[in-house]
């Protein structure tokens, strides 16, 4: 499949992410991701990991949340600041702020840290056309 930045699953996944429906967002992005073959595939894998890490953080799986956060940054970090119309820099900055306390926890398994719902990021996208 060639990349189509107008595929409705992109906006559907973003809407679900922004509505904090992280599991459903993951499903939509994964369906889209499975059809990609170019460099966009890695970017959307990163968005899947963003949804999964927030799902884990919200559910109290702190180790899984931290692991998925790190993979999110690896997958998305090298993309342009405005890839696919998505404000990548803002998403990465907001994710870092959301995960700051969890990332600062040193040692083994982090304990007593909860997701601050006021820090959950929003994905901002403008249409490219």
Please, what is the Cα angle at 48 between 30 and 128, to 5 degrees? Answer: 85
Selected from 1.10.3470.10, 1.20.120.350, 3.40.605.10, 1.10.3450.10, the CATH number assigned to the domain covering 8-119 reads 1.10.3450.10
Please provide the average confidence, as pLDDT, over all residues in the chain.
Answer: 93
Q: pTM here?
A: 0.94
* Each residue's pLDDT tens digit, 8-57: 999 999 999 999 999 999 999 999 999 999 889 999 999 999 999 999 99
**What is residue 86's three-state secondary structure?**
strand
Distances (CA, A) of 67 to 7, 29, 33, 35, 85: 29, 19, 20, 25, 27
Residues 56-80 have a mean pLDDT of 96
Q: Is 49 exposed, middle or buried (0-12, 13-18, 19+ CB in 10 A)?
A: buried
Q: How far is CA 84 from the centre of its chain?
A: 14
Per DSSP, 78 falls in state T
Q: Is the pLDDT of residue 72 over 70?
A: yes
């Amino acid at each position: 499949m060639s990349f189509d930045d107008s595929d409705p699953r992109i906006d559907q996944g973003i809407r679900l992410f922004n509505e904090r429906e992280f599991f459903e967002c993951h499903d939509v992005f994964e369906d889209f991701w499975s059809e990609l073959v170019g460099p966009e595939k890695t970017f959307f894998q990163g968005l899947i990991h963003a949804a999964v890490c927030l799902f884990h953080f919200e559910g109290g799986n702190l180790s899984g949340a931290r692991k998925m956060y790190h993979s999110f940054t690896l997958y998305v970090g090298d993309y342009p600041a405005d890839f696919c119309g998505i404000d990548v820099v803002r998403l990465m900055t907001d994710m870092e702020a959301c995960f700051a306390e969890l990332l600062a926890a040193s040692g083994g398994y982090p304990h007593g840290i909860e997701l601050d719902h006021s820090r959950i990021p929003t994905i901002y996208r403008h249409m490219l056309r």
